[in-house]
Amino acid sequence: MLVEYSENIYIAKNPALSTLLLEIRDKNTDRRRFRELLKLAGILMAYESSVLLDTKTSEVETPLGAKWSSEKIDDEAIVIISILRASLPFVDGILTLYPRASVGFISAMRVEDSMRRYNNRLVFEVESHYEKIPRIEKRTVLVADPMLATGSTMDLALNTIKKKNPRKIVVITLIASRLGIEFLSSRHTDTYIVVASIDPKLNDKGFIVPGLGDAGDRSFG
């Protein structure tokens, strides 16, 4: 179930998701299991986010020769953007629910020694060395990244995506900081954000607290 946090921002409330997230946060969860959990969380977050996607009426014939029509998500009209590298297992889960979706990649990372404070928030410079994005004009774009800390990386990704004229953008993330999500929503008022948990703060290095650590390192070493 999605609970509205503020305009266009939703928190996914789901006991199965909360159970996964507890194990994901656990520092004793090993690398293999961590990746498995991110994939499972991707499936659940894709399911929860589905209420924001457009549907069309489709009809089938049952084995008894009867007609049945229902609303259907057209996943061939969906493009999933993976923010490398931490989102790879997460996106694998989303693809389980939307197997016909196209997938694009943006390599974006913050420059750690560029941190500064601006208007009471931490700011980092962000570098992007690679992007490969399929045609997204007038299509729905799901942007996946398990963590949203300061919002700087996602801001860069969204600015890149919007130049290509998508019809709708939904950001899917597991854990966001309160400051990061408020910054992102103020910069992208036309973008939907779905998150499993909004954590209270960032530490002096820009990591979410309590958070889960570095998702990329915990997935891949």
Domain ranges of the chain: 2-52+77-203
Give the pLDDT confidence of 185-209 residue by residue, as tens digits: 999 999 999 999 999 999 888 889 9
3-state secondary structure of 193: strand
- The pLDDT score that the predictor gives to residue 85 is 86
**Can you tell me the distance from the alpha carbon of 22 to that of 35, in angstroms, rounded to the nearest whole number?**
14
Distance between CA atoms of 19 and 37, rounded to whole angstroms?
10
Contact assessment for residue 31 and residue 218, using Cβ atoms and an 8 Å cutoff: yes
Question: What is the structure's pLDDT at 154?
Answer: 93
Q: Inter-axis angle of helices 152-162 and 178-187, to 10 degrees?
A: 20
Contacts of 190 (CB under 8 A, 6+ apart): 8, 169
The pLDDT value recorded for residue 190 is 95
Per-residue model confidence (pLDDT) at position 127: 80
Phi, psi of 203, rounded to the nearest 5 degrees: -85, -175
**CA atoms of 85 and 217, how far apart (whole Å):** 9
Q: Which CATH architecture does the domain made up of 2-52+77-203 adopt? A: 3-Layer(aba) Sandwich (3.40)
Categorise residue 211: left if φ over 0, alpha if ψ from -120 to 50, beta otherwise: left
Give the per-residue pLDDT at 205.
Answer: 82
CA distance linking residue 93 with residue 109, whole number of Å: 22
Contact 97, 47 (CB under 8 A): yes
Tallying the residues shown for the chain, one arrives at: 221
Q: How far is CA 160 from CA 3, 31, 48, 79, 220, in A?
A: 28, 31, 25, 14, 26
pLDDT at 116: 66
What is the predicted pLDDT for the residue at 117? 66
Q: Which residues of the chain have pLDDT under 70?
A: 110-124
